[in-house]
């Protein structure tokens, strides 16, 4: 089960009304981007090749896409507000479905990728973009 700062914002719970109430988050996919490095390259007149200085590791992107569902529309809106509230510029701890921890993650954006849909329950597709600042 995934978590964000120890809270089950993106994890899978059921709509049975137990635990978190009548809210479910899931299924979802967490894509961890490739580690990034930066270099500076220098070329000098009269010398073959170039010189390179490794500037070290840089931030890496993380994308979470999924669906949130709730029996009541207000519960769904509360969950959306809770997730969007983490876009505060602070860093947080993300734990994925495989129990891998990613510290120093900043939530850069939370975007609804569908309108609120109504069937047996209310649901919304979303996309979150995070940046892991140091790893």
Which of the four pLDDT bands, split at 50, 70 and 90, describes residue 12?
low
Nearest partner of 16 among 8, 4, 24, 6, judged by Cα: 24
> In 42-118, where does DSSP find H-type helix?
73-84
pLDDT at 112: 93
What pLDDT digit, counting tens, does each position of 14-51 carry?
554 444 445 566 678 899 999 889 999 999 888 889 99
What are the two backbone dihedrals, phi and then psi, of residue 34, each rounded to the nearest 5 degrees? -70, 140
pTM for the model stands at: 0.78
Q: May I ask the CATH architecture of the domain 3-132?
A: Beta Barrel (2.40)
Task: Give yes or no for residue 80 having a pLDDT over 80.
Answer: yes
Which of the four pLDDT bands, split at 50, 70 and 90, describes residue 86?
very high
Task: Give yes or no for residue 13 having a pLDDT over 80.
Answer: no
Exposure string for 101-112, b = 16+ CB within 10 A, e = fewer: ebeebbbeebee
Q: With helix as H, strand as E and coil as C, how does 12-54 read?
A: CCCCCCCCCCCEEEEEEEEEECCCEEEEEEECCCCCCCCEEEE
């Amino acid at each position: 089960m995934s978590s964000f700062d120890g809270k089950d914002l993106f994890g899978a719970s059921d709509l049975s009304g137990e635990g978190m109430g009548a809210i479910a988050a899931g299924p979802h996919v967490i894509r961890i981007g490739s580690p990034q490095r930066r270099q500076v390259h220098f070329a000098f007149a009269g010398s073959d090749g170039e010189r390179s200085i490794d500037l070290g590791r840089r931030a890496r992107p993380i994308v979470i896409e999924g669906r949130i569902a709730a029996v009541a529309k207000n519960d769904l809106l509360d969950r959306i507000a809770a997730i969007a509230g983490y876009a505060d510029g602070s860093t947080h701890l993300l734990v994925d479905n495989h129990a891998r921890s990613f510290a120093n993650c900043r939530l850069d954006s939370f975007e609804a990728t569908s309108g609120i849909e109504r069937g047996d329950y209310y649901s919304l597709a979303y996309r979150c973009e995070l940046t892991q600042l140091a790893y």
